Amino acid sequence: MLFLFVLKKLFILLLVINFLFSQFIEEKSSFNPFLVEKAAYILNLNYSVYPSSNVLKNATIKIFIPQNATVLYSNLNFSITSDELNNTILVIYYPDQTSIIPINIQLFLNKSADHIYSLTQEEQTTFNKEFLDLGLIGANRSILTLAQNITNPYKNDIEKLAALAVWTNNYINYNSSMVDKKLSVEQIIEKREGVCWHYAVLFSALARSLGYPTRFVHGYAYSKFDNNWIGHVWVEVYLGQWIGVDPTWLEFGYIDATHIPLYKSPIDLDFYQISVSASVLDKNAQLILKDNNELMHNAFLVIPVNSEISNKKFNQDLFSSNEFFNLKDDFFIFAKISDPKEVLLEKFQLLSCTFESNKSFFILEPQKEIFSLILPNSTKFFIWKINISDEVSDNLKSNYIYTCPMVLNSLSYKDSQPLVITINPDFKTSKINSLTYNKILNPGQVQTISFANPSKDKFYLLGKDFILENSSSSINFLFSPSFFGENEVYIFSSKFTPLKLSFFVQEENKKYFANISVPSTILEDQEFSLFLSPNDELFSFLEDKFFVEVSSPNQKFEKVFRKNDKLEFNLKIGQTGKIPLFYSFKTLSGQLIYSNFTFIEVFSKPNLTVVNYTFIPYENFFVVRVLVNKSGDFNSAYLLADNQKYDLINSDLVELTLKNSSSINFIWRDKLNNSYYSKIFVQVPSIKSKNLEDKNLSINQNQIIFILLATLILLLFFIKSKRMNKNA
């Protein structure tokens, strides 16, 4: 009884905490469920089961509960089991005859957001047909054409599925009045409105039509539209692993911690959490299940554990094409998204400062939000064309400088650093002259963009997923496009009018391909092997003999191979940095068949030498100052003396304490983590010997003083004796 009393008191306390947190949510308009990484939940289930007349007995009540939930309290005995889909079920068996069964259950759940940190494919699973069956979700094969049209621009599975989620989210308008209206997929497409169930069914139909298994997740989530907990349905799609997709609130891969899953099913079931079976003595009576607590709205008590994401999900940088903007030219704003840790569907929007009467200072293209799939360890660039509106430019005066902050708004960043744009109405840009490039490329062909740069300004070339720079007098940008069809790149420098170049990569020969195997990092002048392996289509196209050429900026190698030869080059690179390696297949007459390139990071070998060392004596020890000289690329460097470790990466001068002569060991590693060693022996002057000499010196001085005093006494005695003899 005492235990139940304590639980009830705890429950009341949690109610109070929930009320305060609910008030916090209502008052804080910026609250976003997307940012909830962790939370704790109390779920209160309060039901009554009874027949419409007479009594019942042998009742079995099954309730879906979240996995890993803890039962705090139950007024009836229960057991926990699971079904074939690994859903957790709380089972109550009530054998006695009764007119009503009251049910009161309290659950506690710690919930973390779902993350996908890696897209490594696991072994493919064979699914039952219900995970792929369009008929079970009211769709037919005609939806395949729609799904193909949506996903055609994308080349891999994860991008195709993200495109389906974005399309579904944009296509359907959320309408809460549709909560109890079940429609077929064709009716959803025709009506274009609905709630989470309609979003989930449409997305699942599109994904299944392309062969991706899906399942529905039924549960609860916090709605920023209703500012309350509501019943919710979202989807999981199988791509080597189950990946969460919420097409209603557009979450993909990452599913925030306000999503509370109760059960998962391959079928679009009506939402239910509890099922009851019992023997009713009156055969004409109906079994009634009453929800006493309006479960959908009042069941959850939310205790915040960590209401915001503690770590940034990626790095976000904003930069502009030019140092100054003028009133006439078009300029560009670039956003670099790098070092993401997980799969994430993000929303980006560039926000401009405003002029009088809240008029936007700039005209932006695109103006709308950009939705983009972010993949782990990738880099992406987003581009906005920007110019000053006529209405604003008419009010800007010559000989004045204006500034305007621009902010990149995204779900994961609440406090982005602004980019301050400087507008100088008198600023004039220069034009790039004599620019040449290939407007149509074959697959694998290297694009070459060339132009003169007599002033040696630094120019940048920006693509979808890369950026290059060059400041030579004759600029050559070389790269191999990663995307078929229409491609765009941007060339810019602080004093020049930025350019957007478009070119087309043909697809008809895209079957030709060659893999390259090469270390990603090497040391300067280190010999390494490069292997090439053409795919079957390219191999069959090659003649019995052919040329393979491999080149870097300052060297070129060319060999003749036969079809069955191992395509291997042993190379050395005598420069450091991120070095491009170009490789191409040619006929013996020199006709290009296929070409591509890759990058290899080259580091210099590190070296460490001791310049000198000096002693500073103290009473019982010496301080030794060791000066070293370092050259090359270090991963780490330190010295060991008297079991003490001293870092040498950030300083060339180290002070260490020694009492006795000893060895000093120097250890350093290169960027490939190879280790190097050197050692010196330091002879420390003996502190004990020095004290002994001082002591001996002190003894000798006393002896001298004693001899002098004795001599003086003898001399005085001698003089006195002489006088006495004389007087006598």
**Ranges assigned E (strand) in 389-424:** 402-410, 419-423
Across 116-125, 434-443, 575-584, the highest mean pLDDT is recorded for: 575-584
Architecture of domain 514-603 in CATH?
A: Sandwich (2.60)
Pairing state between β 214-223 and 228-238: antiparallel
According to the model, what pLDDT value does residue 667 have?
A: 93
- Regarding predicted confidence, which is higher, 502 or 132? 502
According to the model, what pLDDT value does residue 685 have?
A: 73
The C-alpha atoms of residue 523 and residue 529 are separated, in whole angstroms, by 13
pLDDT tens-digit series, residues 659-712: 888 889 999 999 999 999 999 888 877 654 444 344 444 445 566 777 777 777
Over range 376-392, report the average pLDDT: 86
pLDDT tens-digit series, residues 84-108: 888 999 999 988 888 888 888 888 8
Q: Decide: residue 28, CB within 10 A, 0-12 exposed, 13-18 middle, 19+ buried.
A: exposed
Helices 157-171/196-209 angle, 10° precision: 140
Which tokens is 672 given? 């490939």
Mean pLDDT of the chain: 81
Residue 207: which pLDDT band, with cuts at 50, 70 and 90?
Answer: very high
Q: Which residues pair with 408 in a beta bridge?
A: 350
Domain ranges of the chain: 2-113+275-306, 129-255, 315-423, 440-505, 514-603, 607-685
Handedness of CA 681, 682, 685, 689 (dihedral sign): negative
CATH superfamily, with its number, for domain 440-505 = Immunoglobulins (2.60.40.10)
pLDDT tens-digit series, residues 409-452: 888 776 678 889 888 888 888 988 878 887 777 777 788 898 98
Over range 473-489, report the average pLDDT: 85
The C-alpha atoms of residue 632 and residue 653 are separated, in whole angstroms, by 17
Which of 13-27, 120-134, 340-354, 524-538 comes out lowest in average pLDDT? Answer: 13-27
Is the pLDDT score of 206 beyond 90? Answer: yes
Which tokens is 304 given? 């915040």
According to the model, what pLDDT value does residue 660 have?
A: 81
CATH number listed for the domain at residues 607-685: 2.60.40.10
Over range 182-205, report the average pLDDT: 92
CATH 2.60.40.10 fits 315-423, yes or no: yes
Is the pLDDT score of 507 beyond 70? Answer: no
% of the chain beyond a pLDDT of 70: 82
% of the chain beyond a pLDDT of 90: 24
pLDDT tens-digit series, residues 237-274: 998 889 999 999 999 999 999 999 999 988 766 656 67
The C-alpha atoms of residue 622 and residue 688 are separated, in whole angstroms, by 13
pLDDT tens-digit series, residues 330-370: 889 999 988 888 898 888 888 888 877 677 788 888 877 88
Over range 170-186, report the average pLDDT: 89
Element (H or E) spanning 186, and its range? helix 185-191
Q: Does the bond joining 553 to the residue before it have cis omega, within 30 degrees of 0?
A: no
Judge contact between 493 and 510, C-beta under 8 A: no
**Ranges assigned E (strand) in 519-564:** 521-523, 528-534, 545-552, 555-562
The C-alpha atoms of residue 266 and residue 236 are separated, in whole angstroms, by 10
Residue 290: which pLDDT band, with cuts at 50, 70 and 90?
Answer: low
Is the pLDDT score of 459 beyond 80? Answer: yes
The C-alpha atoms of residue 582 and residue 588 are separated, in whole angstroms, by 18
pTM score > 0.75 for this model?
A: no
Q: Which residues contact 394 (CB under 8 A, 6 or more apart)?
A: none
Q: Answer whether 129-255 and 514-603 agree in fold.
A: no
Which of 157-161, 165-169, 534-538, 720-724 comes out lowest in average pLDDT? Answer: 720-724
According to the model, what pLDDT value does residue 20 have?
A: 41
pLDDT tens-digit series, residues 594-611: 777 788 999 999 999 998
CATH 3.10.20.30 fits 129-255, yes or no: no
- Regarding predicted confidence, which is higher, 100 or 620? 100
Residue 162: which pLDDT band, with cuts at 50, 70 and 90?
Answer: very high
Q: Which residues of 110-129 are buried (b: 16+ CB within 10 A; e: fewer)?
A: ebebbbbeebeeeeeeeeee
